[in-house]
Amino acid sequence: MAKGIREIKRQIKSIQNTKQITKAMEMVAASKLRRAQEKAEAARPYAEKLKEVVESIAAGTTGIKHPMLEHREVKKTGYLVITSDRGLAGGYNANVIRAVMNTIRQNHKSTDEYSIFVIGRKGRDYFRRRNLPIVEEVTEISDAPTFADIKSISSKAVSFFEEGKYDVLYIFYNEFVNALTQIPVQKQLLPLAEVEAEGAVSSYEYEPSAEEVLAVLLPKYAETLIYSAVLDGKASEFGAKMTAMGSATKNATKMIGDLTLTYNRARQAAITQEISEIVAGANAQS
């Protein structure tokens, strides 16, 4: 019995140590989530202004022709997948990878029919283990990503479409709703939807021409959409980690309570047994 009591006490101590770790990780994730949200919000004015300029040029220019606006027969597909480098984030990575794999199984019979661009070690490792066609990968993205962190992969993903190496490009990532909710989404990135200005059109003068300016801005606009998805994904990652670590802390608290109750009962039983043995011994001597 004494051995059992010691074992229970050892388990309680171990779970208490784990609880301290998960609580600390929850607080760190909450702090990083706030910063990730602030960074995502700070990037929005640039994206919105770029969108305004692109729509203004499109509205004021007739007969726009650009590879990024061209809808072609889909013979090959590109997928850009955003995951995290580390785990302990609940279903954050599993949900977005599952969405990608379901799409691939439904639409493709051969790996020659698609190419994958992946951000994050978790996605990279998953696709690599299954020998899927990874064209470009980026790992070790910082907790506060800059555009330079994803410039190479976003530029290549856009240029591959312009060069006709695939006919449509989809992006998969977790859309941040709040700390408790992150939704895996699939969006068509290229070709871009018809760009039309809403409301009054701003007046701009272009040099050398509106068409040439648009040819420069459209790739930047697509790359900005990718960067926005990365920032959204980071906020989702920290939200998922905060939720997962919060659940782990609550589970640890419950386990400690259950084990403490078991420990007290076992200790009480041991004391009762000792008293019974003492009383039995005293009766035997009388």
Task: From first to last of the 286 residues of the chain, give the pLDDT tens digit.
Answer: 555 788 988 999 999 999 999 999 999 999 999 899 888 888 878 877 777 777 777 665 656 677 777 788 899 999 999 999 998 888 899 999 999 999 999 999 999 999 999 999 999 999 999 999 999 999 999 998 998 999 999 999 999 998 989 999 999 999 888 888 889 999 988 887 655 545 545 566 667 776 777 778 888 888 888 999 999 999 999 999 999 999 999 999 999 999 999 989 888 887 887 787 777 776 777 6
Q: Is residue 257 part of a domain?
A: yes
For residue 57, the one-letter residue type is I
Q: How many domains does the chain have?
A: 2
In the DSSP assignment, the letter for residue 109 is: S
CB atoms within 10 A of CB 15: 18
Query: Would you state the pLDDT for residue 1?
Result: 53
**Domain hosting residue 142, numbered range:** 28-243
Angle at 171 between CA 143 and CA 130, to 5 degrees: 85
Instruction: Examine the domain organization and report whether 215 and 98 are in the same domain.
Output: yes
Query: Would you state the pLDDT for residue 195?
Result: 56
- Give the burial string for 47-64 (b: 16+ CB within 10 Å, else e): eeebbbbbbbbbeeeeee
Collapsing DSSP states into helix, strand and coil, what is residue 205?
coil
Query: Would you state the pLDDT for residue 2?
Result: 57
Collapsing DSSP states into helix, strand and coil, what is residue 193?
coil
In the DSSP assignment, the letter for residue 194 is: P
Query: Would you state the pLDDT for residue 61?
Result: 60
Instruction: Examine the domain organization and report whether 133 and 15 are in the same domain.
Output: no
Q: Is residue 285 part of a domain?
A: no
d(C-alpha 270, C-alpha 168), whole Å: 71
In the DSSP assignment, the letter for residue 201 is: P
Instruction: Examine the domain organization and report whether 6 and 131 are in the same domain.
Output: no
Instruction: Examine the domain organization and report whether 138 and 262 are in the same domain.
Output: no
Instruction: Examine the domain organization and report whether 190 and 177 are in the same domain.
Output: yes
Instruction: Examine the domain organization and report whether 117 and 11 are in the same domain.
Output: no
Which residues make Cβ contacts (< 8 Å) with residue 275, sequence separation at least 6? none
Give the domain CATH number at 272: 1.10.287.80
Instruction: Examine the domain organization and report whether 137 and 21 are in the same domain.
Output: no
**Residue whose pair of structure tokens reads 């050892």 in the numeric block:** 10
Q: Is residue 286 part of a domain?
A: no
Q: Is residue 55 part of a domain?
A: yes
**Residue whose pair of structure tokens reads 């690599």 in the numeric block:** 128
Instruction: Examine the domain organization and report whether 8 and 34 are in the same domain.
Output: no
Query: Would you state the pLDDT for residue 124?
Result: 95
Instruction: Examine the domain organization and report whether 13 and 150 are in the same domain.
Output: no
Instruction: Examine the domain organization and report whether 197 and 253 are in the same domain.
Output: no
Chain Cα centroid distance, residue 139: 13
d(C-alpha 144, C-alpha 113), whole Å: 34
Instruction: Examine the domain organization and report whether 7 and 132 are in the same domain.
Output: no
Instruction: Examine the domain organization and report whether 33 and 88 are in the same domain.
Output: yes
For residue 15, the one-letter residue type is I
Angle at 195 between CA 73 and CA 61, to 5 degrees: 105
φ/ψ of residue 31, rounded to 5:
-65, -45
Query: Would you state the pLDDT for residue 202?
Result: 55
Is residue 115 within 8 Å of 160, Cβ to Cβ? yes
pTM of the model: 0.83
User: What is the total residue count of the chain?
Assistant: 286
Give the domain CATH number at 135: 3.40.1380.10
